[in-house]
């Protein structure tokens, strides 16, 4: 009897533990939900322009999402150290982590801005290679992408500040600023896309202008907040480049492995997207994109899981309590699976939004959207658990697990599998997607075996790594 009780406690935490985890994750999820709602509203407004214009905006969004993951990976790398320095009450270490984020994200955002503005067409063409309406879709996408290019430096500032605040447990401020940016974006979408209040009707370009205004306002709010409240990681502009080289290089080395993992995943997803986009015309591109837009409403749990793991375990590891961190790992992973199951069941009901939000899409596109939403909902428990595994390893500084798990699976299973399904079967895009995602069971198995080695069980704030 005692053994079974002990085993249960090893797997599941107390209600108070999960209450703390939810207190950290719910504001992050609310922020993600708001951002997803913005995307949904954008799609609703652009969908009124027809399949081709919506497809153009969405393939531009798919390319931009690759870079967004790149920025997120850089912020995660700095966040590994930020959360542990927070647990160790080391404000100088926190400042160094924040400076790393600002310097690298702004630098790469400037480069990406130039790329988007100069000539994005070759990359956009790849996303719809073989599609029967590729020329029209690419033309719309290029217009959107060139204008939206100027959102990336403000986005880098917002991401650096917002993730840093969450990593020290301040999760409400990013939520508030996200709400404000959402309202601004929605308002200017309404004005510019359809030409309301005397503005010119700009259609897809109008959505890009609205995004620039919203992201700039969001960045300004973060800057004003940091200057006013001066959290422990705050650094004045004149000191941003005052960097401890050894720590900067240490974070950069973690970045390299996290980037290898995340970029392997997102680039594979991009290739997979291009392959299933070849299965028809604009109805496939718009239908699959709309499916992901709705699925993002329940994908919000991933950010919440990552934040709760990073803050709770990062603080515990930074304080040196490794035994407690070992138990928290089991509790958080169990909670992630249960939470993913709940979100998957809830997410299946979002199919009722399709006739309301995407009424202007063709009947064929709506069928694809509905099937895609249900497919994603079915995978939610697995994906939530896998996200928890990755968060645990990265919080402890073990970025190698992601490289081993993602790169090997994507390179040897996902990409070959998708080419076989594309060129040797007549399966539709949703069936192709569902089949290839079975490889995620292999990913979670590799991750589980790797976590048992406990390479993640480290106090970075006091080790030579920091």
Q: How far from 199 is each of 71, 141, 189, 193, 454, CA to CA, in Å?
A: 33, 22, 11, 9, 59
pLDDT digits (tens, 9 = 90+) for 28-63: 788 777 766 666 666 667 766 666 777 777 778 878
φ/ψ (deg, to 5) at 46: -70, -30
6-10, 252-256, 261-265, 444-448: least confident range: 6-10
Residues 6+ apart with CB under 8 A from 198: none
325-341 core/surface letters (b: 16 or more CB in 10 A; e: else): bebbbbbbbbbbbebbe
Q: Residue 392 pLDDT more than 90?
A: yes
Whether residue 170 has pLDDT greater than 90 = no
Lowest mean pLDDT among 101-105, 263-267, 336-340: 263-267
Region 244-262 average pLDDT = 82
Dump pLDDT digits (tens) for 135-153. Answer: 788 888 888 889 989 999 9
Contacts of 74 (CB under 8 A, 6+ apart): 101, 104, 105, 108, 255, 259
CA angle in degrees (0–180, nearest 5) for 41-42-44: 60
Mean pLDDT over 239-248 rounds to 85
Angle at 37 between CA 34 and CA 39, to 5 degrees: 115
pLDDT at position 71 over 80: yes
391/368 Cα distance (integer angstroms): 32
Of all residues in the chain, what percent carry a pLDDT higher than 90?
34
Three-state secondary structure call for residue 417: helix
Q: Is the pLDDT of residue 251 over 50?
A: yes
Residue 3: burial class (beta carbons within 10 Å; 0-12, 13-18, 19+): exposed
Tokens of 375: 């497919």
Q: Which of 303, 340, 328 is nearest to 440 (CA)?
A: 340
State the alpha helices, DSSP H only, in 48-90: 51-87
Contact (CB, 8 A) for 104 and 147? no
pLDDT of residue 381: 96
Give the separation between CA 83 and CA 169, rounded to whole angstroms. Answer: 9
Answer with the residue of higher pLDDT: 402 or 439. Answer: 439
For 199, other C-beta atoms within 10 Å of its C-beta total 15
pLDDT for position 38: 66
Per-residue pLDDT, 447 = 95
Per-residue pLDDT at 462:
64
Residues 204 and 53: beta-carbon distance below 8 Å: yes
Q: What angle do CA 299, 302, 306 make, to 5 degrees?
A: 165
Cβ(264)–Cβ(411) below 8 Å = yes
Element (H, E) at 169: none
Going by pLDDT thresholds of 50, 70 and 90, the confidence category of residue 228 is very high
Percent of the chain residues past pLDDT 70, beyond the cut: 92
**Using an 8 Å Cβ cutoff, are 185 and 177 in contact?**
no
Place of tokens 């939900």: 33
Q: What are phi and psi of 59, to 5 degrees?
A: -70, -30
Residue 343: phi and psi, rounded to 5, are -70, -35
Reference 275, options 424, 411, 405; nearest CA is 424
Taking residues 325-335, report their average pLDDT.
93
Q: Assign 196 to helix, strand or coil.
A: coil
Residues in contact with 256: Cβ distance below 8 Å, sequence separation at least 6, in sequence order: 399
CA separation for the pair 259, 269 (Å, rounded): 15
pLDDT average, residue stretch 84-102: 88
Is the pLDDT reported for residue 305 higher than 80?
yes
Cβ-based neighbour number of residue 239 at 10 Å:
11
User: Which class for 70: exposed (0-12), middle (13-18), buried (19 or more C-beta within 10 A)?
Assistant: middle
Range 266-289 average pLDDT = 80
Q: What is the pLDDT of residues 201-226, one digit of tens each?
A: 888 788 889 989 999 999 999 999 99
Residue 466 confidence (pLDDT) above 50: no
Beta carbons of 379 and 344 less than 8 angstroms apart: yes
* 88 contact partners, CB below 8 Å, separation of at least 6: 318, 319, 459, 461, 462
Q: What is the pLDDT of residue 140?
A: 84
In three-state secondary structure terms, 240 is: coil
| Mean pLDDT over the full length of the chain | 85
The residue that leads in pLDDT, 257 or 337, is 337
Query: Residue 243: helix, strand or coil by DSSP?
Result: coil
Task: Please count the CA atoms within 13 angstroms of the CA of 322 that sit on its side-chain side.
Answer: 10
Q: Please check the confidence at residue 156 and state whether its pLDDT lies above 90.
A: yes
The values of phi and psi at residue 310, to 5°, are: -60, -45
The confidence score (pLDDT) of residue 132 equals 65
Are the CB atoms for 328 and 13 separated by under 8 Å? yes
């Amino acid at each position: 009897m005692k053994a079974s009780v002990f085993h249960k406690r090893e797997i599941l935490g107390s209600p108070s533990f999960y209450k703390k985890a939810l207190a950290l994750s719910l504001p992050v999820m609310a922020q993600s939900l708001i951002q997803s709602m913005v995307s949904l509203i954008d799609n609703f407004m652009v969908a009124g322009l027809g399949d081709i214009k919506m497809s153009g905006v969405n393939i531009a969004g798919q390319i931009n999402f690759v870079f967004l993951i790149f920025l997120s990976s850089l912020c995660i790398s700095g966040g590994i150290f930020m959360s542990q320095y927070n647990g160790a009450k080391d404000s100088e270490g926190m400042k160094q982590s924040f400076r790393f984020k600002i310097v690298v994200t702004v630098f790469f955002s400037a480069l990406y801005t130039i790329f988007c503005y100069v000539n994005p067409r070759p990359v956009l063409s790849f996303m719809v290679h073989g599609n029967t309406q590729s020329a029209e879709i690419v033309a719309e996408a290029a217009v959107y992408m060139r204008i939206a290019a100027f959102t990336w430096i403000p986005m880098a500032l917002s991401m650096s500040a917002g993730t840093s605040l969450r990593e020290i447990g301040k999760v409400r401020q990013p939520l508030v600023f996200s709400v404000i940016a959402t309202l601004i974006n929605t308002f200017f979408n309404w004005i510019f896309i359809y030409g309301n209040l005397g503005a010119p009707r700009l259609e897809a370009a109008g959505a890009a202008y609205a995004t620039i205004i919203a992201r700039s306002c969001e960045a300004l709010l973060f800057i004003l907040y940091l200057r006013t409240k001066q959290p422990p990681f705050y650094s004045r502009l004149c000191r941003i480049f005052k960097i401890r080289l050894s720590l900067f290089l240490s974070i950069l080395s973690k970045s390299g492995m996290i980037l290898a993992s995340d970029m392997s995943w997102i680039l594979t997803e991009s290739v997979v997207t291009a392959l299933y986009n070849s299965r028809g015309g604009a109805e496939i591109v718009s239908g699959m994109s709309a499916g992901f837009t709705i699925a993002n409403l329940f994908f919000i749990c991933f950010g919440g899981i990552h934040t709760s793991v990073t803050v709770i375990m990062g603080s515990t590891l930074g304080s040196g309590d490794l035994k407690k961190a070992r138990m928290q790992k089991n509790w958080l992973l169990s909670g992630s699976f249960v939470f993913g199951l709940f979100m998957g069941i809830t997410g299946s009901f979002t199919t009722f939004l399709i006739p309301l939000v995407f009424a202007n899409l063709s009947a064929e596109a709506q069928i694809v959207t509905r099937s895609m939403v249900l497919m994603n909902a079915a995978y939610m428990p697995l994906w939530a658990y896998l996200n928890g595994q990755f968060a645990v390893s990265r919080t402890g500084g073990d970025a190698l697990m992601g490289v081993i798990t993602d790169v090997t699976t994507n390179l040897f299973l996902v990409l070959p599998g998708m080419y076989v399904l594309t060129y040797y079967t007549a399966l539709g895009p949703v069936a192709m997607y569902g089949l290839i995602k079975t490889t995620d069971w292999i990913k979670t198995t590799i991750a589980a075996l790797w976590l048992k080695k406990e390479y993640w069980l480290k106090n970075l704030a006091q080790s030579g790594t920091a």
